[in-house]
């Protein structure tokens, strides 16, 4: 497996690059965060889990980690993909190969070790347990058991771990460019997990993520966007630039 080779320089560059890409391709990046997510004890590790519907998921996880949290970010990427883009190991990524049971087990152990390390910053693992990109409205969600397995192994070393549902949805609203919506739900604080309970926890996480996604979709459909604040605004689209030019030339006046 490929392990983390974190680099502060790479991380800073990727933060700049991510913002640049979001501003180029999106009208806005809007985020809703429950207050207690920002009040988590940094001594307690956290696993963020959610749907995997977009190529952009690795970008916004890094951006949110920089903006809202003081964390050591870790993220699991499929082995074949990470070998193509090894620079992600500089940002906190490590690999999993589900076709190799021994390798997959080592990944779970490695994840638990990283989450259990003592540090002044919170250890955070971002996971997309569907294991592959699927349409945002695919139902039911099917999660691999990795979140539960890693939580179980982490609790062998520490007294508690947070589980936080975070979901994403991209929509075209009133603008030429799409808008990306992210939503963080309140943390679940887990202090114990029996071996037999892992499948039940996985099913619970699937159901929570489904309900979370459906709630975000409903808010967007009803244009109830007050809870979402704008984290990033994109560069002006063509239609907005044309509107400004028309205004400057006085072509929008109603004579």
pLDDT of residue 195: 82
pLDDT at residue 60 above 80? yes
pLDDT at residue 167 above 80? yes
Q: How many of the other CB atoms lie within 10 Å of CB of 16?
A: 10
190, 46 contact by CB (below 8 A)? no
Model confidence band, residue 96 (pLDDT cutoffs 50, 70, 90):
very high
Q: How many CA atoms lie within 13 A of 247 on its CB side?
A: 6
* 127: nearest Cα among 179, 92, 178: 92
pLDDT at residue 105 above 70? yes
pLDDT of residue 147: 97
Which has the higher per-residue pLDDT, 154 or 241?
Answer: 154
Q: Per the structure block, which two tokens stand in for 236?
A: 């002006």
pLDDT in tens, 219-246: 999 999 999 999 999 976 556 556 656 6
pLDDT in tens, 107-120: 999 999 999 999 98
Cis peptide leading into residue 140 (ω within 30°): yes
**Exposed e or buried b per residue across 58-93, where buried means at least 16 C-beta atoms within 10 angstroms of its C-beta:** bbbbbbbbbeebebbbbbbbebeebeeeeebbbbbb
49, 164 contact by CB (below 8 A)? yes
Give the 3-state secondary structure of residue 7. Answer: coil
Q: Per the structure block, which two tokens stand in for 47?
A: 């696993």
pLDDT of residue 252: 65
pLDDT of residue 240: 59
Mean pLDDT of the chain: 93
DSSP state, residue 213: H
Q: Domain limits of the chain?
A: 8-248
Q: Is 131 left (phi over 0), alpha (psi -120 to 50) or beta?
A: left
pLDDT at residue 129 above 90? yes
Looking at the structure, give the CATH architecture of the domain made up of residues 8-248: 3-Layer(aba) Sandwich (3.40)
Q: How far is CA 151 from CA 171, 201, 246, in A?
A: 33, 10, 57
pLDDT of residue 72: 94
Give the 3-state secondary structure of residue 27. Answer: coil
pLDDT in tens, 25-34: 999 999 999 9
pLDDT of residue 151: 98
Model confidence band, residue 247 (pLDDT cutoffs 50, 70, 90):
low
pLDDT of residue 58: 85
70, 122 contact by CB (below 8 A)? yes
- What percentage of the chain has pLDDT greater than the value 70? 92
pLDDT at residue 249 above 80? no
Model confidence band, residue 194 (pLDDT cutoffs 50, 70, 90):
confident
* 180: nearest Cα among 18, 11, 39: 18
pLDDT of residue 242: 60
Q: How many of the other CB atoms lie within 10 Å of CB of 248?
A: 9
């Amino acid at each position: 497996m490929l392990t983390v080779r974190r680099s502060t320089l790479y991380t800073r560059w990727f933060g700049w690059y991510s913002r640049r890409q979001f501003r180029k391709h999106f009208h806005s990046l809007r985020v809703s965060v429950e207050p207690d997510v920002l009040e988590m004890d940094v001594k307690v590790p956290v696993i963020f889990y959610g749907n995997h519907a977009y190529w952009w998921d690795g970008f916004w996880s890094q951006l949110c980690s920089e903006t809202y949290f003081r964390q050591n970010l870790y993220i699991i990427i499929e082995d074949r993909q990470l070998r193509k883009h090894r620079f992600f190991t500089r940002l906190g990524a490590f690999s999993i190969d589900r076709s190799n049971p021994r390798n997959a087990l080592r990944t779970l152990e490695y994840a638990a070790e990283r989450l259990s390390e003592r540090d002044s910053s919170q250890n955070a693992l971002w996971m997309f347990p569907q294991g592959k990109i699927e349409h945002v409205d695919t139902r039911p969600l099917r999660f691999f058991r990795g979140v539960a397995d890693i939580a179980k192994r982490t609790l062998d070393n520490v007294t508690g771990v947070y589980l936080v549902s975070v979901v994403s949805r991209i929509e075209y609203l009133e603008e030429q460019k799409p808008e990306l919506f992210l939503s963080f739900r309140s943390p679940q604080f887990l202090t114990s997990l029996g071996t037999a309970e892992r499948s039940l926890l996985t099913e619970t996480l699937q159901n929570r993520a489904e309900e979370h996604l459906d709630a975000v979709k409903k808010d967007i459909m009803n244009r109830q966007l007050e809870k979402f604040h704008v984290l990033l605004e994109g560069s002006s689209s063509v239609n907005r630039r044309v509107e400004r030019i028309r205004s400057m030339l006085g072509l929008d006046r109603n004579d």
